[in-house]
């Protein structure tokens, strides 16, 4: 025979809260089931039976109210949806204090040029055949008084001028591969070989050789000595080679 839910709970001597915890239901739902305000839905019936250790058939789906118990008052949906008064009493967030504007920092003065930049700038000027005075005339300041960004800009300009000068002089273009020969060197040696004019070769061991060029390559130069014998010189062993100085004139530049 089935019994009221509240009667079974009291027989097991457990509280509403304990039954709700065991069945995994809200306390309000248990109270509504026990007061008879609503029938036990099938999906909750099994939970309540397991929590009370009884069969499902032993629980009445619609419990009769407990004798002498006050009717359970259900709060209107509107009131239930409103937050508690304690939540409503929370004051709005405080507005941040008015802070005075931060003072604007003055920009830092440009840094002076590095010594290495000055040395590099002077080297580029020398390669272009210019002097620091020429640069001072364009900038209005001595090189040492220029700031670092200005020196960097001039380094870029001078390097670009050097590249333009090198591209305008193809005869002085350096070889990019070890198998090739610098065009200027090739023309110089070819002219010496054609005229048969002897050259003076200076070696790293301090020796000197005077001989005529009869052939050359990327790594060596073959010469004919005064006694008619031939000798191949490794370029790595050479300090320089030059034409024999004329009897009453200036010396040829060293190659």
143-167 residue pLDDT tens: 888 888 888 888 888 888 888 876 6
Overall average pLDDT of the 45-68 stretch: 87
Q: CA–CA separation, 165 vs 160, rounded Å?
A: 9
If pLDDT is split at 50, 70 and 90, which confidence band does 74 have? low
Band of the pLDDT at 221, cuts 50, 70, 90? very high
Q: How much is the pLDDT for 167? A: 67
Under the banding of pLDDT at 50, 70 and 90, the label for residue 178 is: very low
Q: Vertex 107, ends 102 and 110: CA angle to 5°? A: 160
- Per-residue pLDDT of 17-42, as tens digits, reads 999 999 999 998 999 988 888 899 98
Query: Among the residues of 12-170, which ranges form H helices?
Result: 16-23, 27-35, 42-52, 77-81, 85-88, 115-127, 132-139, 148-168
pLDDT tens digit sequence for 3-22: 888 888 899 899 999 999 99
Tell me the whole-structure pTM to 2 decimals: 0.31
pLDDT at 225: 92
Q: What architecture is the 183-243 domain classified under in CATH?
A: Roll (2.30)
Nearest 5°: the CA angle 69, 73, 77 is: 160
User: Mean pLDDT throughout 133-137?
Assistant: 86
In this prediction, residue 111 carries a pLDDT of: 85
Domain ranges of the chain: 5-66, 115-168, 183-243
Express each pLDDT in 100-119 by its tens digit.
677 777 788 888 888 888 88
Task: Determine the pLDDT at residue 179.
Answer: 44
Residue 175 vs residue 153, higher pLDDT: 153
**Could you give the maximum distance between any two Cα atoms of the chain, in Å?**
145
* Average pLDDT of the segment spanning 237-247: 81
- Residue 233: what pLDDT? 92
Between residues 55 and 69, the one the model is more confident about:
55
**How many angstroms separate the CA atoms of 73 and 147, rounded?**
86
CATH topology of domain 5-66: 434 Repressor (Amino-terminal Domain) (1.10.260)
Half-sphere exposure of 255 (CA within 13 A, CB side): 19
Q: Put the strands of the sheet holding 230-234 in their side by side order.
A: 230-234, 220-224, 208-216, 199-203, 238-243
Q: Is pLDDT of 184 > 90?
A: no
Compute the average pLDDT of residues 33-58. Answer: 89
173 has a pLDDT exceeding 80: no
Which pLDDT score is estimated for 176? 45
């Amino acid at each position: 025979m089935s019994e009221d839910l509240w009667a079974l709970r009291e027989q097991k001597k457990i509280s509403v809260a304990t039954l709700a915890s065991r069945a995994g239901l809200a306390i309000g739902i248990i109270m509504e089931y026990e007061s008879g305000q609503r029938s036990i839905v099938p999906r909750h019936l099994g939970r309540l039976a397991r929590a009370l250790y009884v069969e499902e058939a032993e629980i009445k789906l619609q419990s009769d109210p407990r004798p002498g118990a006050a009717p359970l008052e259900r709060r209107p949906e509107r009131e239930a949806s409103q937050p508690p008064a304690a939540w409503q009493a929370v004051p709005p967030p405080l507005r941040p204090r008015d802070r005075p504007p931060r003072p604007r920092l003055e920009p830092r003065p440009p840094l002076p040029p590095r010594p290495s930049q000055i040395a590099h700038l002077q080297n580029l000027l020398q390669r272009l055949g210019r002097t620091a005075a020429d640069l001072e005339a364009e900038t209005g300041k001595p090189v040492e008084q220029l700031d670092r960004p200005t020196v960097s800009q001039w380094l870029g300009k001078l390097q670009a001028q050097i590249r333009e000068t090198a591209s305008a002089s193809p005869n002085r273009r350096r070889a990019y591969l070890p198998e090739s020969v610098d065009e200027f060197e090739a023309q110089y040696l070819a002219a010496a070989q054609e005229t048969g004019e002897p050259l003076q070769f200076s070696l790293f061991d301090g020796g000197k050789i005077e001989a005529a060029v009869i052939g050359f390559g990327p790594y060596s130069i073959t010469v004919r000595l005064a006694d008619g014998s031939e000798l191949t010189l490794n370029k790595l062993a050479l300090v320089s080679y030059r034409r024999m100085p004329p009897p009453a004139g200036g010396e040829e530049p060293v190659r």
